[in-house]
Amino acid sequence: KDATTGFEKVILREPRGSSAEILLFGGQVTSWKNERGEELLFLSSKAIFKPPKAVRGGIPVCFPQFGGQGSLEQHGFARNRLWKIVESSSPLPSVDSDKFSLINNSTKAIVELMLTPSEEDMKIWPHKFELRLRVALSSGGGLTMTVKVNNKDTKQFSFTFALHTYLSVADITEVRVEGLETLDYLDNLKSGERSTEQGDAITFDNELDRVYLSTPSKIAVVDHEKKRTFVLKKDGLPDLVVWNPWERKAKQMVDFGDDEYKYMLCVEAAAVEKPIVVRPEEEWTARQELSAVSSSYSSGP
């Protein structure tokens, strides 16, 4: 249990010093630190740790819906349900100070969580499923998340999905997102109107809320101020949502500090435009791999 929030969490530690924290509430990664102990994810100082409110920051899982269409709640219910631990990196985890802390001295620290629907959930989304999330920290400090959705029902179902990653940045006005040039996107600020990206990188000087379509499997987020580049590699999640609320929206969110928009950027590997269809007894799987490289090391000769 986390002393301040009272939420149960799993802590993954990797021998070289990087770490990650995953809440059972939402199956949500809320911290990912590099070897130097620097936090790489944004978590709002105003985040509310009180169900059913989803926690603002980290990496919420949006399932069975991305967005707010129809009768389902915005971004689905997986992010505010309690998940279970189904597997951890060692069969008998050595227990750290925290009951759920897992330490592994091999190359990877892993935890797998699962969400299955309650009777109440079945009333709002009448499909039996198993949603699994495997979070692995590699020896280089990379964070890999593997998602699986199994259809345990007798009928097929469909859903949209996102790993809603909040990256921590030093100054949003000095950030560029590379890999989305010339792509089509749906503009959530214009009721989902379709446009084509004209710039050679995305930069930020205002609110932005877009779903880039059929994006490449590798995207880079360059944080000039921090001299850090995040690399997001993904598989099975064709779209990429890019979101920054900017000043006005920030003020409207109770669980987000007024000036915190300067220090975060959401880049969300997603399947939005074309819903995923899973037939009975079948499985859908997707993956995202995040790494953070310091530009002072990566810039070659």
Report the interface residues with ligand BG6, using CB under 6 A. Answer: 74-75, 164, 188, 209, 241, 243, 266, 268
CB of residue 51 to ligand BG6, shortest distance in Å: 15
Nearer to ligand BG6, 209 or 273 (CB): 209
CB of residue 64 to ligand BG6, shortest distance in Å: 15
Please tell me which residue in 21, 112, 260, 268 is annotated as part of the active site.
268
Residue 26 gets the label, from left (phi > 0), alpha (psi -120 to 50) or beta, of left
Nearer to ligand BG6, 148 or 249 (CB): 249
The Cα-based distances of 225 to 29, 35, 290 in angstroms read 25, 20, 19
| 193 labelled catalytic | no
| 268 labelled catalytic | yes
DSSP 3-state percent helix, strand, coil across the chain (nearest 5): 10, 45, 45
Nearer to ligand BG6, 24 or 241 (CB): 241
Please tell me which residue in 127, 164, 260, 289 is annotated as part of the active site.
164
CB of residue 124 to ligand BG6, shortest distance in Å: 16
DSSP run (H or E) holding 298: helix 295-298
Nearer to ligand BG6, 178 or 209 (CB): 209
* CA 295 from centroid of its chain's CA atoms: 23
Nearer to ligand BG6, 98 or 125 (CB): 125
CB of residue 283 to ligand BG6, shortest distance in Å: 25
CB of residue 230 to ligand BG6, shortest distance in Å: 17
Convert 45-74 to b/e letters by CB count within 10 Å (16 or more is b): eebebeeeebbbbbbbbbbbbbbeeeebee
Sign for the CA dihedral angle at 296, 16, 95, 130 comes to positive
Q: Are 11 and 19 in contact (CB under 8 A)?
A: yes
Joined tokens for residue 243: 């979101």
Q: Are 109 and 136 in contact (CB under 8 A)?
A: yes
Alpha-carbon dihedral 196, 172, 166, 223, rounded to 10 degrees: 90
The catalytic site residues sit at: 164, 268
